[in-house]
Structure 1
Amino acid sequence: MEVVTKLFTLLEDLTWGWSLIPILVIFGVFMTLMSGFVQFRFFDRMFRVLWPRNETADPNQISARQALMISVGGRVGGGNIAGVAVAITLGGPGAVFWMWAIALVGMATSLIECTLAQIYKRRTPDGAFRGGPATYIRHGLGESYRWLAVVYVICLIGSFAFGFNAFQGNTIAGAVNDSLGIDRLVTGCVLAIITGFIIYGGIHRIAKAADVIVPVMALSYIGVALLIIAMNLGELPRVLGSIFANAFGFEEAVSGGVGAAVAQGLRRGLFSNEAGLGSAPNVAATADVYHPISQGITQSLSVFIDTLLVCSATAFVILLGDVYVPGAEGVSGVVLTQQSLVHHLGSWAQYYLTFAVFLFAFSSIMYNYYLGETALVEFVNRPAAIHVLRVLVIGVVLLGASAPGATSVFFFSDPLMGLLALVNLVVILMLFPVAIRVLNDYRAQLKAGNERPVFDAARFPELDLDKTAWDPERNRPRQTSH
């Protein structure tokens, strides 16, 4: 066991320790430049998907908005509450600026990887769509790279479906126990039952649940933060000044100065928004849209919501209060966020935070499970295998919630996610020319006056595409999302 632990520790050091964060930053800047700042040029189009009139006309398909909500639900988790507090404690207020910066460049990375997932998506026997990195490895790079897809699938299931779901269950049970005194086992059983009900309904039930939970989750939390900002409006210029001054070394809040701010901000931003990690494309592929770039644009919005809105909400709650003292040893993590909320709003806020943690973490459980299912069926598309995965995920959630020490069993989660990200980044770099060709097709149609570009697979005969997923007759205009 010690040998295995050392192996995964080495893998984590080789990925998250020194190589992965600089690579993700470089990739984000590269894709921003090579795509012509696509995330800024199409920024206004991202929001069109939010309005009901833009929904798909086919109730049997996952709409662009539903796919967005599942993705936001997955990206937004306990890290947006606890992780941001840790970043500020270790990196100072300047970490918030670098968190924003990596989100802005990460929006381009997310657009490219999610576009590739749409390009190579496959229609399933029930008429739905599936896809993601495992699919675009096999059909984009060819069967000679099947081994790389296998590595990806193993890493995704091990990290997201199992490891991170154990941690999410632990987060929920811990928050409920601390604030309400409810035993962890009781919370774990309830959580396992709800999880089972939703995941046994498949992607459509997950999408419907996310379409309700995510807006309530995000809007209520952002609303509370806006209330706190309004209550402390006079302090806002000071806080903003502190963020920028610490980000560039004009002030030093913690030991390590600007270096600590950069490291913590980039790390928290990348962990939170998942741009380039190869997770969100699995959900992006499910959407029924006219053009692959359409859903790529939509998925960029999920990065914006996660970091620029939800993470920022936590940051302002903390920095506008008196609980956080720069450079001082004291409370950190979710406790810092909780005490900051109580400072601003009173003791009832700790119960609200428990509610927020529950919604944040539960939405991530649904998302993590679906990532695992999508990866599994790429190679083992049998009902029995899916059933086994569902039972295991329910068991993992129960274990993680009821036995806090059990999460140490899943020490391999972060190293596997690091390897997962490296595999995905190599693949999207190899397929980047394909994404740019499709992006140019989208731009050409816009330039020609077509406000709703339609993807014609026949124009890309050399690509291994599922023609039934891009049937021109079926794909006729019926919505206005992009």
Structure 2
Amino acid sequence: MGFFDTIFNAVNDLTWGWALIPFLVVLGVFFTVASGFVQFRFFKRMFGVLTGTDEDNDPTKISAREALFVSVGGRVGGGNIAGVAVAITAGGPGAVFWMWAIALIGMCSALVEATLAQLYKRTEPDGNYRGGPARAIIHGLGANYRWLAIVYAVCLIASFAIGFNAFQGNTVAGAALDSMGIQRVWTGAVLAIATGFIVYGGIHRIAKAADIIIPVMAFGYIGMALLIILLNITGLPGVLWDIFANAFGFREAVAGGMGAAIAQGLRRGLFSNEAGLGSAPNVAATAYVKHPVSQGITQSFSVFIDTILICSCTAFVILLGDVYQPGAEGVDGVALTQQSMVDHVGGWAQYFLTVAILLFSFSSIMYNYYLGENALSFMTDSPMAFHILRIVIIGIVFLGAVAPGATAVFNFSDPMMGILAVVNLLALMMLFPIALRIIQDFRSQLAAGIEKPVFDPAKFPDLDTDPTAWPDAPKATAAE
């Protein structure tokens, strides 16, 4: 084990340690400027997917709203509760500002990668769509890059489907044991059974479950935070000042000052919203939309929900309370969030947070499973392979819940995600000119007065697209 730990630590240092985060930030800024700040131009349209005014409907397909909620369920997880607390403890209140900043930049990266996933999606025999970075690499860059797509797919399975699902099971079981005294084996059994029910139902069951769980989860958590903010409304201006003052070094809350705030804010923000990491595009490609950019806008909104809304809720809960003391040694992670809630509204809040963690984690398990399934479908269509993957996922969730020490075996998750992100970013750089063409097509249709732009594959004959994935294309040209 020591030998493998050395290798994984080395890979982690080479990716997350010093290279990957600046790469993600610089590339996100470049995408934002080169696209003309597209995430801000289309910001108003993002809310259309919630109201249904900007959504295309087909009862046999995954809708844009369902794809949004599945991806939100994946992005929103332990990082929104424990990760924000860690960022504040290590980087001070200023880390929150830099989490906001990277989210606003990441919204563009999310839009670009989701647009490309939609552009190169394929229609399956059952009528569903599959896509994502692996297929974008093959159809966008060519068969010579198949090896790169396989590296991506293997890392996606190892990091999300296996490693992160073990941690999700561990998080839920730990919270249930600490707050309710429920033994880990019972939590693990319930999680495993629920996971089995979902993963054997396919993407439609995942989407339907997410359509119910995610609104309850998000609105419930946001509602609790708003209650706490209202109870402490007089302290809000001071908290906002602390965030900005610490972010720019006017007030040093922890050792490292502004540097610590930037480092922790960027790192935790990227880990939380996953923009540019190549995970969410796998879900984005399943949606039925009339134009690739429509789902790109939706996935950009997913980043906004994750960080600007839900991460901010956790930050205000912590910073408006008395449990957190800048620079002091004490509680950290989920315990800090939990104790802060109890400090605000009473002991019942720990049970509320346990339920929230359960919903957050279960939504992530569904999401992580689908990422693994989609990656596997790129490499094989063997039914037995999918059956084995499902059994492994159910077992991994149970193992992570009942044996907290066993999660150390899955320490390869972070370095695997680091490699995954590097591969995805390389592909995004090479495919970005194509993404700009598709964005410009969307813009030009809007400028011509078309309220819901329609993608026509025939207008892009040089691109390896699947015409059957775009049934709304003009019939005269789609048939040519």
In structure 1, the gaps of 5 or more residues are 477-482
In the alignment, what sits opposite 2:209? Answer: 209
d(CA) in 1 for partners of 2:398, 2:326: 37
> Superposition pairs for residues 39-50 of structure 1, below 5 Å?
39-50=39-50
In the alignment, what sits opposite 2:436? Answer: 436
In the alignment, what sits opposite 2:173? Answer: 173
> Superposition pairs for residues 409-420 of structure 1, below 5 Å?
409-420=409-420
In the alignment, what sits opposite 1:94? Answer: 94
1:291 equivalent in alignment to 2:282: no
In the alignment, what sits opposite 1:183? Answer: 183
Is the 2:457–2:473 Cα contact (8 Å) retained in structure 1? no
In the alignment, what sits opposite 1:480? Answer: none
1:154 equivalent in alignment to 2:154: yes
> Superposition pairs for residues 216-231 of structure 1, below 5 Å?
216-231=216-231
Deviations 1:277-324 (A, max 9, x none): 000000000000000000000000000000000000000000000000
Deviations 1:27-80 (A, max 9, x none): 110000000000000000000000246554321100000000000000000110
Is the 1:454–1:475 Cα contact (8 Å) retained in structure 2? no
In the alignment, what sits opposite 1:468? Answer: 468
d(CA) in 2 for partners of 1:95, 1:34: 27
Is the 1:99–1:268 Cα contact (8 Å) retained in structure 2? yes
d(CA) in 2 for partners of 1:404, 1:7: 23
Q: Which amino acid aligns with 1:122?
A: R
1:64 equivalent in alignment to 2:64: yes
Q: What is the deviation of 1:4?
A: 1.8
Is the 2:456–2:474 Cα contact (8 Å) retained in structure 1? no
Change (3 A) 1:265 1:320: same
Deviations 1:331-382 (A, max 9, x none): 0100000000000000000000000000001100000000000010011112
d(CA) in 2 for partners of 1:258, 1:58: 49
d(CA) in 2 for partners of 1:474, 1:411: 50
Change (3 A) 1:372 1:354: same
Q: What is the deviation of 1:110?
A: 0.3
Q: What is the deviation of 1:3?
A: 2.1
> Superposition pairs for residues 321-470 of structure 1, below 5 Å?
321-470=321-470
In the alignment, what sits opposite 1:3? Answer: 3
d(CA) in 1 for partners of 2:140, 2:50: 31
d(CA) in 2 for partners of 1:279, 1:367: 9
d(CA) in 1 for partners of 2:306, 2:290: 25
1:105 equivalent in alignment to 2:109: no
Is the 1:342–1:348 Cα contact (8 Å) retained in structure 2? yes
The residue matched to 2:379 in structure 1 has which SS? Answer: coil
d(CA) in 2 for partners of 1:414, 1:115: 26
The residue matched to 1:87 in structure 2 has which SS? Answer: helix
Change (3 A) 1:474 1:359: farther
Identity among equivalent positions (%) equals 70
Is the 1:71–1:302 Cα contact (8 Å) retained in structure 2? yes
Q: Which amino acid aligns with 1:74?
A: G
Q: What is the deviation of 1:471?
A: 3.1
> Superposition pairs for residues 231-270 of structure 1, below 5 Å?
231-270=231-270
In structure 2, the gaps of 5 or more residues are none
Q: Which amino acid aligns with 1:61?
A: K
The residue matched to 2:60 in structure 1 has which SS? Answer: coil
Change (3 A) 1:112 1:54: closer
d(CA) in 2 for partners of 1:249, 1:423: 35
363-372 or 466-475: bigger deviation: 466-475
In the alignment, what sits opposite 1:479? Answer: none
Deviations 1:228-279 (A, max 9, x none): 1111110000000000000000000000000000000000000000000000
d(CA) in 2 for partners of 1:167, 1:379: 26
Q: What is the deviation of 1:2?
A: 2.2
Is the 1:12–1:418 Cα contact (8 Å) retained in structure 2? yes
In the alignment, what sits opposite 1:36? Answer: 36
Q: Which amino acid aligns with 2:349?
A: A
d(CA) in 2 for partners of 1:139, 1:12: 30
Q: Which amino acid aligns with 1:171?
A: T
Is the 2:454–2:473 Cα contact (8 Å) retained in structure 1? no
The residue matched to 2:328 in structure 1 has which SS? Answer: coil
In the alignment, what sits opposite 2:310? Answer: 310
d(CA) in 2 for partners of 1:114, 1:154: 20
Q: Which amino acid aligns with 1:263?
A: A
Q: What is the alpha-carbon root mean square deviation over aligned residues?
A: 1.1
Taking structure 2 as the reference length, the TM-score comes to 0.98
Is the 2:48–2:55 Cα contact (8 Å) retained in structure 1? no
d(CA) in 2 for partners of 1:306, 1:299: 11
d(CA) in 2 for partners of 1:445, 1:309: 31
The residue matched to 1:249 in structure 2 has which SS? Answer: coil
Q: What is the deviation of 1:161?
A: 0.1
d(CA) in 2 for partners of 1:366, 1:209: 9
d(CA) in 1 for partners of 2:430, 2:263: 28
In the alignment, what sits opposite 2:126? Answer: 126
d(CA) in 1 for partners of 2:188, 2:56: 36
Is the 2:55–2:289 Cα contact (8 Å) retained in structure 1? no
In the alignment, what sits opposite 2:142? Answer: 142
